[in-house]
């Protein structure tokens, strides 16, 4: 079933809410599956094996950045600029065939490269097979990634929803069988990824090619690569932006400081990934392009960015003020210092999300080379700030650097892309001031018992929500009424649909 494109602010919000909700459910299921496997895997995988898997994940991410060539984003852009369905099929088919060619070439070269890669990343030739399995799974997943983007772009979200849920269940079950029952260790995890890629990505890619046919358009190859290639350095810079501080902490501080900061990253990043990735599945693949065709596009962009960032600020605020409780519940007492850094990471991630909206004009205009400039400058700022702050302040230096880096990334992007017009900076600044003020106030209140801490955290969360909803410089009365009506209409539609289905079933 194809989801109709949005045509007004209210319909755009309804479209984004529905589609984001669908993807959010899938990602929550995936996160729960990962967390549910931890008690089992910690008994059957040694810490060194966990380390190997982590290094392989980073290696795969770097190679994926090169091999995808930004073609997924190119599909979304050129699909929406196509004049008719025939041209749209040509866009998808061309991207699929280009990705297939990249996959085949890389698979042929991989046996020659696996040994040097293993020596460089894992410091041993003994792990050649691990590198071979990990990168092969990634390469075989590439065509499926293009097929998934094509489905997202065309609005067929329910198909993706079902496929991802089935894949999560299959992968989880196979990992348990191979790692727990057959005691395959790292091999079990990697073989699961490979088999899952062959079954799901392979079948989805084959189905997509059968649906659109083989219609390679040579005139599209160069423009699509020109549009997509700038995303390669941006992805590589993004990896450095998010991960470089751990290398500096390891070089200038103790391993305990690294552990505290790594734990502090987990909670805000997990929440931000769930919400932002689910939203972007609907926004970046379709809604951002359909809104551009509306006469009030700039108004819609400004409202959508403000509403989403306000919602995300509330969720990250709740994580920030609940830092002590989260660490107490999910970690040993020796990890208590990690709670000090969570508010910094949470606020930094909120600032980082501004970039999703300030890059709107670049995404629509195809001037993606500007993103390379911003990512390059941010990578330089990342190296400089971590080098200055971490040797002097330790993990606190990493926390300060995180906020500064993410601020620089979004606001330098706003200047370079000329993208501040897509944000309501006055209201977002007010939200930021309230956010920081309440977090500082909460940190001055110390509770002796865990249940009083929880009640205090709930009070501050409710207070923050009240302030951003009822202070006039954050939300107008007209917007509150419209929001309540919007929620009421969605609930009413859900109830009516439920009753209609029940009556039809009874008949």
* Mean pLDDT of all residues in 256-265: 73
Quote the pLDDT of residue 61: 79
Token pair, residue 391, equals 């040797």
Q: Is the pLDDT assigned to residue 12 strictly greater than 70? A: no
Q: How confident is the model at residue 505 (pLDDT cuts 50, 70, 90)?
A: low
More confident residue, 27 or 85: 85
More confident residue, 466 or 506: 466
Token pair, residue 210, equals 């059968």
In whole angstroms, what separates CA 420 from the centre of its chain? 22
Quote the pLDDT of residue 11: 63
Q: Is the pLDDT assigned to residue 24 strictly greater than 70? A: no
**Interval 322-331: pLDDT, tens:** 988 887 777 6
Quote the pLDDT of residue 1: 34
More confident residue, 259 or 317: 317
Q: Is the pLDDT assigned to residue 313 strictly greater than 60? A: yes
In whole angstroms, what separates CA 138 from the centre of its chain? 18
Quote the pLDDT of residue 7: 46
Q: Are the C-beta atoms of 310 and 468 separated by less than 8 Å?
A: yes
**Interval 163-217: pLDDT, tens:** 888 888 898 899 889 988 888 888 898 999 999 999 988 888 888 888 877 877 7
Residue 448: DSSP 8-state = S
Quote the percentage of the chain above a pLDDT of 70: 79
Token pair, residue 232, equals 């390669």
* Mean pLDDT of all residues in 144-157: 77
Q: Which residues contact 141 (CB under 8 A, 6 or more apart)?
A: 197, 201
Quote the pLDDT of residue 272: 78
Round the CA-based radius of gyration of the chain to a whole number and report it.
Answer: 24
Token pair, residue 310, equals 């306000």
Q: Which residues contact 107 (CB under 8 A, 6 or more apart)?
A: 136, 139, 140
Q: Is the pLDDT assigned to residue 299 strictly greater than 90? A: no
| Nearest one of 346, 305, 370 to 442, comparing CA atoms | 346
């Amino acid at each position: 079933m194809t989801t109709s494109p949005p045509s007004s602010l209210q319909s755009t919000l309804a479209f984004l809410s529905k589609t984001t909700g669908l993807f959010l459910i899938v990602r929550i299921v995936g996160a729960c599956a990962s967390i549910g496997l931890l008690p089992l895997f910690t008994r059957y995988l040694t810490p060194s094996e966990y380390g190997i898997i982590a290094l392989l994940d980073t290696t795969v991410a770097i190679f994926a950045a090169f091999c995808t060539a930004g073609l997924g984003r190119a599909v979304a852009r050129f699909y929406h600029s196509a004049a008719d369905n025939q041209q749209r099929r040509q866009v998808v088919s061309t991207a699929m065939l280009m990705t297939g060619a990249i996959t085949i070439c890389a698979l042929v070269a991989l046996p020659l490269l696996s040994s040097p890669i293993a020596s460089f990343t894992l410091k041993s030739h003994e792990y050649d097979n691990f590198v071979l399995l990990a990168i092969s799974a990634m390469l075989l997943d590439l065509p499926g990634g293009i097929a998934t983007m094509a489905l997202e772009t065309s609005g067929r979200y329910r198909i993706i929803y079902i496929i991802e849920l089935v894949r999560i269940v299959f992968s989880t079950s196979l990992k348990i069988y191979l790692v727990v029952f057959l005691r395959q260790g790292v091999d079990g995890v990697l073989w699961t990824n490979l088999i899952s890629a062959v079954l799901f990505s392979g079948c989805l890619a084959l189905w997509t090619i059968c649906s659109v046919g083989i219609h390679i358009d040579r005139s599209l190859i160069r423009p699509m690569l020109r549009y997509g290639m700038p995303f390669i350095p941006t992805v590589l810079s993004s990896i450095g932006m998010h991960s470089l501080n751990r290398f500096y902490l390891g070089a200038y501080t103790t391993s305990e400081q690294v552990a505290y900061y790594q734990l502090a990253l987990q909670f805000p990043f997990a929440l931000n990934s769930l919400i932002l990735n689910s939203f972007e599945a609907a926004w970046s693949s379709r809604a951002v392009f359909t809104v551009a065709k509306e006469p009030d596009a700039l108004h819609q962009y400004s409202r959508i960015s403000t509403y989403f960032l306000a919602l995300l600020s509330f969720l990250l605020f709740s994580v920030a003020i609940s830092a002590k409780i989260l660490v107490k519940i999910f970690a040993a007492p020796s990890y208590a210092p990690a709670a000090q850094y969570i508010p910094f990471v949470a606020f930094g991630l909120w600032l980082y999300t501004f970039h999703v909206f300030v890059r709107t004009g670049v995404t629509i205009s195809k001037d993606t080379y500007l993103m390379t400039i911003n990512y390059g400058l941010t990578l330089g700022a990342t190296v400089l700030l971590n080098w200055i702050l971490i040797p002097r302040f330790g993990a606190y230096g990493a926390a300060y650097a995180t906020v500064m880096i993410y601020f620089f990334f979004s606001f330098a992007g706003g200047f370079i892309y000329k993208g501040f017009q897509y944000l309501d900076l006055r209201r977002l600044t007010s939200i930021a001031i309230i956010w920081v003020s309440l977090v500082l106030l909460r940190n001055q209140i110390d509770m002796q018992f865990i249940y009083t801490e929880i009640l205090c955290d709930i009070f501050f969360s409710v207070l923050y929500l009240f302030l951003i909803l009822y202070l006039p410089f954050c939300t107008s009365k007209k917007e509150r009424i419209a929001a309540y009506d919007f929620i009421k209409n969605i609930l009413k539609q859900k109830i009516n649909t439920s009753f209609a289905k029940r009556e039809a079933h009874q008949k």
